[in-house]
């Protein structure tokens, strides 16, 4: 029993990380139909910038704030200077630009930062909490909490603010949104900036568990993307559920089946779910009208 | 439309086909294909920096046999394909006389046929024992083999009367190769492997695997073949699960950074490492002391980063090559190769090297010291 | 035939490609160039297949390197573990890839857009994981040696030999692809790309056509993978990895989706450019990313279609 609980805790820890990364894909997709492959690099920038600014002597909370601001600026710049100029192109061109951006940011990070691994101190200490014979780190709860708060904030944004309504309008029909006076370019700028901020916060919260380095973004983006799709792209709660599901599958497979194939089992489950539910778990079913 | 497509495509193609080549000069060209970026940049970056620093130093002192050295470095990003292409480039385009490189075993194995066919000496910086076993005429290596690391760890286990162990290894090439070697030498060393687990090199949580190990009866110690950040996370998870069995890490994490990353969980962890890690703690009469102290100081002054064992391997490789060239009084490939093979008593950062026609690495188990982490620093276990 | 007629004939692309393959070696000062060019043609072959899937049929595949891997390991495992001749294993690899494409494609081609992308991503990763873990068969993460291709005593070794093999296979693949695109199947695929529902209404069996093109693109990739393994003499699980899949997609998009010629250009850019960028050392990766972004911003339909459109406009 304690064993199962330990596996569940591991699944929650890893799943929360994926969930937090997956949330970053949601907003950009909602506003512009683009899958941002540079999202992993936003996570990396959050963690690495904090580490390096702190190494320069700045107190940690301020370093974290600076990191979020810097990453937000990068996200904004990515849209304004790279994606917006290619506005009329097919979505695939947009995705390719984000892939180019991810390579660019990774290459830049190697020069500006370094190629080693770094860590950040956990928020509430590193002593594990004992529950039912299994041990979980406090930071895991921090990550879960962070994901939950972001989901709530995104919901509030969409439901309660004009800005959020404008995002939904832009996503539904860009031309129509422009016709009613929404500055769609600013809206998509905004969504990139916010997604970058979410990525940076994710990076800062997960680094105490995952450690960070200039290429931590690649694998996280992959799993985060898969989680977002599993949950139904565009749905924030879906992203969280997708992330937790993948994390749990990995942990339980590692524990009970074979640690070699835990990733394979997770992806097999994703394939099975998608074949059965082609719009993901909570995705909006798009009705194609002719 | 179709015609223009064809014409523009041909034009672009022709344009791209015109590559620049490196300029011809009267210097001694040494090639290096290293994993400066990518998953093995942990290895390749210090190696590149070391080679650059010491080529400068040698040139400042007048070069080799009166000629300056020219270092040509390519980055294979740990991709065996890319390494192979760069190896061909070094041989065909840059026309190097010798190569020090191959940060990873995969890249090294991919490049060996190119250098063997071109008949130029190749000193590899990768760990697996297959590189020098069977002995290949033109191929040498400086790092300790993963088999030696296993043997050293097992010897230490035996001395503490621990004979039943669990392995938890990374599924990357380094982890897998060392795990295979440990399995191969276990019975001869009197060690039984009770259970095994693996983890992906970029995983963030190994508690399921460690829980399985913790629950396996009879396990007396745990060995973790792996490198990069994985072992640090394994060590942290070890403490999180309050596992008190002795934990052994591999020489792949032999760096101060491991202690920083693993934090207080690193207390009591043991691993085999070269003298470079405990440079200042070596007894004054240790022949390696001046070499490692000097290298550490130079590297840290010039790069403002902590010294790395992998950089040390590159230093050894370069110095062995340069000394061979000096002894041969020429850069003729065959003569240099013969001299490399005759390297005796070379004091490097990895140990004292004595090569022979049947041993193209030249290190024995005394090149490894068993270290334990106490109070956040390395301590040498006496007599190892 | 007058020059104008030649330029406008349907055979121009075929002639151009054959001319490139035949005349290019005149520019090569050393074996290194043969090697790079051979790699270009090998990847271009895989890219042509992927372009059929992505550019013409409009289906995204983020796991295509999985088929590259199946082809590559077929010519490694077959000879080493079963003693079969390499050419037979190459064909077997292609057949296996086709079969796998059939089995995997049936369920997942029902998915649309990004969901299909994730499903193919999962497929590619599964192949890579199996190749890495089944060390007994595949040699694990360090890979395994691939015996040289031998046919009736002649051994295919060396960069120049493989240049010709890859180049000529590419010409054949190129012609077949163009032929396919101008056939009724090709027209059906373009109809599907434009609007699946309209195509359905016209009586096109959408699912079957999509599956057909998926299988064809898998076979192209498998042959390319086998060539890569035979050429290098060594194969590692990276050949089926995620980064490799992204590279293939990038080649398709950069060269021009829907342009078979663009496949070649895309392969040239992503194989040759890193070689040229080595002079920038530390900045190589950042520059590569920057160049990809710039290409996509200014030549957003891909290099060949965008340049061709601007030339054609210029002429007027």
CATH (domain of B354): 3.40.50.2300
CA-CA distance, A67 to A200, in Å (whole number)? 7
Q: Looking up tokens 């190697």, which residue turns up?
A: A110
- State how far residue B87 is from chain A, nearest Cα, in angstroms: 23
Q: How far apart are CA A18 and CA A232, in angstroms?
A: 14
pLDDT over 90 (residue C50): yes
- Residue-wise pLDDT for A137-177, tens only, equals 999 999 999 999 999 998 898 888 988 888 888 888 888 88
Domain with B219 in it:
147-273
> Which pLDDT tens digit goes with each residue over C228-269?
999 998 999 989 999 899 999 999 999 988 888 899 999 999
Stretch A203-228: mean pLDDT, rounded? 92
Q: Is residue B196 part of a domain?
A: yes
C197 touches chain A (CB under 8 A): yes
Does residue A150 lie in a domain region?
yes
Distance from the Cα of residue C183 to its chain's centroid: 21
C183 inside domain: yes
Residue B16 covered by a domain: no
Q: Which region holds residue C220: left if phi is over 0, alpha if psi is between -120 and 50, else beta?
A: alpha
Higher pLDDT, A37 or C195: A37
pLDDT value of residue B24: 46
B117-127 residue pLDDT tens? 999 999 999 98
The mean pLDDT value for C167-195 works out to 89
Instruction: Tell me how close the Cα of A128 comes to any Cα of chain B, in angstroms.
Output: 6
The answer to whether the beta carbons of residues B29 and B94 sit under 8 Å apart is: yes
Q: Are residues B239 and B302 in the same domain?
A: no
Q: Over 70: is that where the pLDDT of B14 sits?
A: no
CB contact under 8 A, B240 and A7: no
The per-residue pLDDT for A240 is: 93
B124 & B154 share domain = no
Specify the length of chain A in residues: 290
HSE toward the beta carbon, residue A286, CA cutoff 13 A: 14
* Same-domain check for residues B302 and B357: yes
**CB contact (8 A) between residue C288 and residue A107:** yes
Is the domain of B226 the same as that of B296?
no
Residue in B180, B172, B183, B186 with CA at minimum distance from that of residue B129: B180
Look at residues B318, B371, B326 and name the one whose alpha carbon lies nearest to residue B348.
Answer: B318
Question: Do residues A250 and A226 make contact, with C-beta atoms less than 8 angstroms apart?
Answer: no
Distance, in Å, from the CA atom of B279 to the CA atom of B270, rounded to the nearest integer, reads: 17
Nearest to A264 among C129, C283, C297 (CB): C129
Residues of B near A (Cβ–Cβ under 8 Å) read 37-39, 41-42, 45, 171, 197-200, 202-205, 207-209, 211-212, 215, 228-229, 232-233, 236, 240-242, 257, 260-261, 263-264, 305
Last residue of a domain, one of B239, B273, B307: B273
Nearest CA in chain A to B257: A117
d(CA B314, CA B295): 11
CA-to-CA dists, residue C265 to B9, B215, C269, C305, angstroms: 6, 57, 6, 11
Q: Indicate if B255 and B165 belong to the same structural domain.
A: yes
Q: What percentage of chain A exceeds 70 in pLDDT?
A: 98
Inter-CA distances, A133 with A4, A120, A130, A138, C76, Å: 10, 27, 6, 16, 48
Task: Identify which has the larger pLDDT, C216 or C3.
Answer: C216
Among the listed residues B322, B380, B382, the one whose alpha carbon sits nearest the alpha carbon of residue B348: B322
Q: How far apart are CA C257 and CA C259, in angstroms?
A: 6
How large is the average pLDDT for residues A185-197?
92
User: How far apart (Å, rounded) are the C-alpha atoms in residues C127 and C72?
Assistant: 12
Per-residue pLDDT band at B22 (split at 50, 70, 90): very low
Could you read off the pLDDT of C6-26 as tens digits, one per residue? Answer: 666 777 788 888 888 999 888
ipTM score for this prediction: 0.90
Per-residue pLDDT, C315:
63
User: End-to-end distance of chain A based on CA atoms, in angstroms?
Assistant: 55
- Which pLDDT score, from 0 to 100, does residue A197 have? 94
Would you say the C-alpha torsion A30, A36, A38, A40 has a positive or negative sign?
positive
Rounded Cα gap, residues C303 and B12, in angstroms:
9
Interface contact flag, C282 A264, Cβ < 8 Å: no
Strand partners, B75: B34
**Which site among C18, C43, C234, C274 would you substitute to test the B interface, given the most B Cβ atoms closer than 10 Å to its Cβ?**
C234
pTM: 0.90
Judge whether C287 and C277 are in contact, CB under 8 Å: yes
- The pLDDT of residue B326 is 92
Q: How far is CA C90 from CA B332, C220, C225, in A?
A: 42, 12, 9
- Report the gap between the CA of C150 and the closest CA in chain A (Å): 36
Question: For C253, which of A96, A108, A268 is closest by C-beta distance?
Answer: A96
Whether the Cβ atoms of residue A110 and residue C285 lie closer than 8 Å to each other:
yes
Q: What is the pLDDT of residues B240-291, one digit of tens each?
A: 999 999 999 999 888 888 998 998 999 999 999 988 888 888 888 889 999 9
Specify if A290 maps to a domain.
no
Q: Are residues B113 and B124 in the same domain?
A: yes
- Chain B residue nearest residue A5, CA to CA: B208
Query: Which of A263, A258, A224 is CA-nearest to residue A244?
Result: A224
Would the pLDDT of A72 be above 80? yes
CA distance A39 to A35: 9
- Give domain status of residue B218, yes or no: yes
- Residue C72: give the domain boundaries: 30-240
Please indicate, yes or no, if residue C170 is contained in any of the structural domains: yes
d(CA C288, CA C275): 11
* pLDDT class of B38 with cuts at 50, 70, 90: confident
Q: What is the mean pLDDT of chain B?
A: 89
* Full domain range(s) for residue A116: 2-276
* Residue B22: CB atoms within 10 Å: 15
Distance of alpha carbon B335 from the chain centroid: 26
The answer to whether residue B268 is domain-embedded is: yes
Q: Please say if the pLDDT value at position A249 is more than 90.
A: yes
The verdict on residue B19 lying in a domain is no
Q: Say if residues B92 and C32 touch (Cβ distance below 8 Å).
A: yes
Q: Which of B89, B81, B105, B113 is nearest to B32 (CA)?
A: B89
C273 interfacial to chain A (CB closer than 8 Å): no
Cα–Cα distance between B308 and B379 in angstroms, integer? 17
Helix, strand or coil for residue B196?
strand
pLDDT at B18: 47
Rounded to whole angstroms, how far apart are CA atoms A195 and A116?
26
Closest CA to B80 of B50, B119, B29, B39: B39
% chain B with pLDDT above 70: 93
Q: Note whether B145 contacts C: Cβ–Cβ < 8 A.
A: no
Chain A residue with minimum CA distance to B240? A128
Query: Is B24 part of the contact surface with chain C (CB cutoff 8 Å)?
Result: no
Burial class of residue C194 in the structure, from the number of CB atoms within 10 Å of its CB (0-12 exposed, 13-18 middle, 19+ buried): exposed
Q: Average pLDDT, stretch A114-120?
A: 89
In a domain, C16, yes or no: no
Measured at the CA of A262, the angle between CA A260 and CA A266, to 5 degrees, comes to: 150
Radius of gyration of chain B (CA): 22
Chains that touch C (3 or more CB pairs under 8 A): A, B
- Considering the domain architecture, whether residues B46 and B138 belong to the same structural domain is answered as yes
What's the domain count of chain B?
2
Name chain B's partners: 3 or more CB pairs within 8 A.
A, C
How many whole angstroms separate alpha carbon A251 and alpha carbon B207?
8
Q: How many domains does chain A have?
A: 1
Structure confidence at residue B269 (pLDDT): 95
Burial of A176 (0-12, 13-18, 19+ CB in 10 A): exposed
CB A274 within 8 A of CB A192: no
The whole-number pLDDT of residue B1 equals: 46
Check residue B23 and give its pLDDT: 47
pLDDT of B116 higher than 90: yes
Chain C: closest CA distance from residue A3 (Å)? 26
CA pair distance C162, C165, nearest whole angstrom:
5
What CA–CA distance (Å, rounded) separates C225 from C200?
34
**Cα–Cα distance, C108 to C105 (Å, whole number):** 5
Q: What residues of B are in contact with residue C32 (Cβ under 8 Å)?
A: 85, 88-89, 91-93
Task: Please write the tens of the pLDDT for every residue from B125-149.
Answer: 998 898 998 999 999 999 999 999 9
The CATH number linked to A80 is 1.10.3470
How many CB pairs below 8 A link A and C?
A: 134
In-domain check, residue A168: yes
């Amino acid at each position: 029993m304690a064993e199962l609980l330990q596996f569940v805790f591991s699944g929650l820890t890893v799943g929360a990380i994926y969930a937090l990364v997956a949330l970053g894909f949601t907003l950009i997709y909602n506003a512009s139909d683009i899958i941002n492959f540079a999202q992993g690099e936003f996570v990396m920038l959050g963690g690495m910038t904090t580490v390096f600014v702190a190494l320069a002597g700045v107190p940690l909370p301020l370093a974290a704030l600076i990191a979020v601001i810097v990453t937000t600026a990068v996200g904004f710049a990515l849209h304004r200077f790279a994606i917006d100029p290619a506005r009329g192109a097919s979505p695939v061109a947009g995705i390719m630009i984000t892939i180019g951006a991810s390579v660019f940011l990774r290459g830049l990070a190697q020069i500006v930062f370094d190629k080693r691994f770094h860590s950040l101190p956990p928020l509430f200490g590193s002593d594990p909490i004992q529950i039912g014979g299994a041990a979980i780190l406090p930071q895991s709860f921090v990550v879960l909490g962070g994901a939950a708060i972001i989901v709530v904030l995104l919901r509030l944004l969409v439901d309660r603010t004009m800005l959020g309504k404008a995002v939904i309008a832009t996503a539904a029909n860009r031309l129509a949104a422009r016709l009613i006076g929404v500055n769609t370019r600013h809206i998509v700028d905004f969504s990139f900036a916010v997604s970058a901020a979410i990525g940076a916060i994710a990076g800062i919260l997960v680094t105490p568990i995952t450690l960070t380095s200039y290429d931590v973004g690649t694998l996280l983006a992959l799993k985060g993307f898969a989680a977002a799709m599993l949950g139904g792209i565009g749905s924030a709660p879906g992203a969280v559920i997708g992330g937790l599901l993948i994390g749990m599958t990995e942990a339980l497979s590692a524990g009970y089946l074979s640690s070699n194939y835990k990733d394979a089992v997770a992806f097999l489950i994703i394939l099975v779910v998608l074949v059965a539910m082609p719009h993901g778990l909570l995705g909006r079913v798009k009705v194609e009208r002719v | 439309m179709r015609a223009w497509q064809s014409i523009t495509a041909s034009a672009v193609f022709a344009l791209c086909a015109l590559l620049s080549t490196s300029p011809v000069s009267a210097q001694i060209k040494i090639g290096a294909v290293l994993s400066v970026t990518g998953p093995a940049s942990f290895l390749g970056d210090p190696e590149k920096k070391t080679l650059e620093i010491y080529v400068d130093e040698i040139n400042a002192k007048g070069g080799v046999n009166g000629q300056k050295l020219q270092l040509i470095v390519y980055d294979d990003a740990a991709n065996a394909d890319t390494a192979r292409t760069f190896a061909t480039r070094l041989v065909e385009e840059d026309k190097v006389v010798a190569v020090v490189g191959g940060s990873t075993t995969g890249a090294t194995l991919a490049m060996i046929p190119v250098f063997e066919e071109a008949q130029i000496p190749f000193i590899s910086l990768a760990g697996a024992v297959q590189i020098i076993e069977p002995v290949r005429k033109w191929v040498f290596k400086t790092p300790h083999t993963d088999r030696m690391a296993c043997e050293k760890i097992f010897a230490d286990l035996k001395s503490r009367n621990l004979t039943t162990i669990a392995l938890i290894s990374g599924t990357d090439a380094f982890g897998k190769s060392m795990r295979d070697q440990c399995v191969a030498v276990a019975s001869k060393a009197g060690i039984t492997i009770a259970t095994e687990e693996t983890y992906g090199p970029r995983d963030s949580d190994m508690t399921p695997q460690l829980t399985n190990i913790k629950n396996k009866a009879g396990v007396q110690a745990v060995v973790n073949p792996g490198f990069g950040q994985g072992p640090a996370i394994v060590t942290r998870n070890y403490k999180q699960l309050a596992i008190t069995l002795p934990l052994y890490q591999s020489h792949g994490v032999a760096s101060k950074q491991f202690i920083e990353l693993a934090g207080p969980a690193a207390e009591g962890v043991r691993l085999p490492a070269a003298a470079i890690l405990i440079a200042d703690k070596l007894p004054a009469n240790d022949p390696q002391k001046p070499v490692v102290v000097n290298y550490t100081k130079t590297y840290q002054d010039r790069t403002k980063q902590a010294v790395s064992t992998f950089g040390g391997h590159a230093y050894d490789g370069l110095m062995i090559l340069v000394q061979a060239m000096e002894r041969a009084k020429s850069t003729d490939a065959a003569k240099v190769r013969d001299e490399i093979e005759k390297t005796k008593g070379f004091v490097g950062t990895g140990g004292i090297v004595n090569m022979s026609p049947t041993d193209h690495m030249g290190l024995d188990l005394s090149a490894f010291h068993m270290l334990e982490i106490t109070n956040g620093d390395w301590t040498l276990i006496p007599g190892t | 035939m007058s020059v104008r007629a030649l330029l406008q004939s349907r055979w121009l692309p075929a002639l151009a490609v054959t001319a490139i393959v035949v005349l290019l070696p005149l520019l090569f000062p050393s074996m290194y160039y043969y090697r790079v060019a051979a790699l270009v043609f090998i990847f271009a072959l895989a890219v042509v297949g992927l372009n059929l899937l992505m550019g013409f049929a409009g289906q995204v595949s983020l796991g295509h390197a999985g088929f590259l891997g199946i082809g590559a390991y077929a010519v490694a495992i077959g000879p080493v573990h079963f003693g079969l001749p390499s050419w037979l294993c190459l064909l077997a690899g292609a057949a296996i890839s086709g079969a796998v494409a059939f089995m995997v494609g049936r369920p997942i081609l029902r998915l649309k857009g990004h969901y299909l992308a994730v499903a193919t991503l999962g497929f590619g990763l599964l192949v890579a994981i199996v190749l890495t873990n089944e060390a007994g068969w595949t040699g694990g993460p360090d890979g395994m040696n691939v015996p040289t291709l031998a046919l009736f005593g002649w051994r295919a070794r060396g960069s120049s030999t493989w240049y010709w093999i890859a180049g000529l296979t590419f010409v054949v693949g190129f012609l077949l692809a163009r032929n396919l695109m101008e056939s009724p199947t090709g027209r059906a695929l373009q109809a599907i790309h434009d609007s699946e529902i309209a195509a359905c209404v016209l009586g096109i069996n959408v699912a079957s056509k999509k599956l057909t093109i998926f299988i064809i693109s898998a076979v192209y990739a498998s042959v390319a993978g086998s060539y890569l393994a035979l050429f290098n003499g060594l194969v590692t699980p990276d050949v089926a990895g995620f980064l490799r899949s992204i590279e293939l997609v990038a080649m398709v998009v950069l060269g021009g989706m829907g342009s078979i010629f663009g496949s070649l250009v895309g392969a040239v850019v992503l194989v040759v450019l890193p070689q040229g960028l080595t002079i920038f050392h530390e900045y190589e990766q950042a520059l590569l990313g920057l160049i990809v972004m710039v290409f996509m911003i200014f030549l957003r339909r891909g290099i060949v279609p965008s340049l061709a459109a601007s030339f054609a406009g210029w002429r007027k």
